[in-house]
Amino acid sequence: MAPKRPTGAGAFPKAVETPAPQPPDSASLYAALDLGTNSCRMLIAQPKGNQFHVVDSFSKSVQLGYGLEGSGHLSRASMNRTIGAMRICREKLKRHGVERMRLVATEACRRAVNGEKFIRQVQNETGLRLEIIQPEEEARLAVISCAPLVSTKTEQLLVVDIGGGSTELVWIDITKVPPRERPRAIMRLHAGFRADPGPFAAAKVVDWISVPLGVSTLRDQFQDVEDDSARFALMSWFFEENLEEFSPYAAAQDRDGFQIIGTSGTVTTVASSFLGLKRYDRTKVDGLRMTSDQIDKVIRDYLALGPAGRRADPRIGRDRQALIMSGSAILQALMRLWPTDRLSVADRGLREGLLYAQMSADGVLEDAPF
């Protein structure tokens, strides 16, 4: 006799419904767009504790400053590429309903004879209002983006932002700030390098400089030098020569308590090569510390590869291979000049600084340790 079939056997199991994640409230969203000499980058984020959560992002190589060194003008082709990228950004902002935003342009638009005219063209064709910011603000935003990476043991801090058209260096003394407060003291610089910190212990900006040499502009200075190694050596020497007006350059510095944080595509590319990543991973790169010997080895490997080898290397790629050696020349000069054999890698920069500044000004970030 066959066993009796249990009631309900063979029935389809009842589905357990998992609610779809709720999209973020558009009223809580902030956007930051950085239009540089090479790239157009945007982040859309919402505050989360003392940090923020990225909701959407965009990044595209537009080469806005291509040919600027020779002509003094933004070319029609580069402006058209950039406006195409800005239209994509506009659609993302519209889709998320973002109302709080800051959209900035840097060195290429500062230097170009037709920079202001281009800004008006962007607004006419996309409805987005770009703002050309000055070097001091660019440096300040780069600094506050790196606040979470500042060690509580740091007393002297050098933040370096290697851009496409310029390089910003900011030297900060935090010896009088209690160790646990040091990252937050850096964040408070969003109000300005000389702003009154109120009742809080202040980070003192000893000096800052914006060198009009970035990965694009430095490369363009030495394009006529055919030998790869000779061109690299000349670029590094020339960049160092442009640091003479930076006051900490000539002064002896104590090795203890000194930290360099580097933020740029050059720094993250070198870090990715050092780690041997087959695919870029921000979680492994951001916050990584490399010694000067490790950095030198990566750069020697780049030189050994030559232009064709660098172009084929997946960590460098076709877009960046033309710029990685000028960026490496800047990086090597900096590591040679100051009393540390370690560099903290920051996969963050102007966009993150813009977000932190907006959120800090609105008081929506929690005042808690990083």
Extract the tokens encoding 219: 């490369």
Tell me which residue has tokens 């606040």. 147
Is residue 15 pLDDT above 60, yes or no? no
Average pLDDT score over the chain: 88
Question: How do residues 252-290 score in pLDDT, each as one tens digit?
Answer: 556 678 899 999 889 999 999 999 998 889 999 999 999
CA distance 147 to 152: 11
Give yes or no for a contact between 290 and 274, defined as CB atoms under 8 angstroms apart: yes
pLDDT at 299: 95
Residue 27's pLDDT band (cuts 50, 70, 90): confident
259 DSSP β-pair partners: 157
pLDDT at 326: 95
52-54-55 Cα angle (round to 5): 130
pLDDT at 339: 64
Give yes or no for a contact between 184 and 199, defined as CB atoms under 8 angstroms apart: no
158 DSSP β-pair partners: 171, 260
pLDDT at 21: 57
Tell me which residue has tokens 């700030």. 177
Average pLDDT over residues 17-26: 62
CA distance 13 to 281: 40
pLDDT at 242: 92
Is residue 34 pLDDT above 50, yes or no? yes
92: how many CB neighbours lie within 10 A of its CB?
A: 17
pLDDT at 248: 72
Average pLDDT over residues 144-154: 91
pTM (predicted TM-score): 0.83
Please state, for a pLDDT cut of 70, what percent of the chain lies above it.
Answer: 89
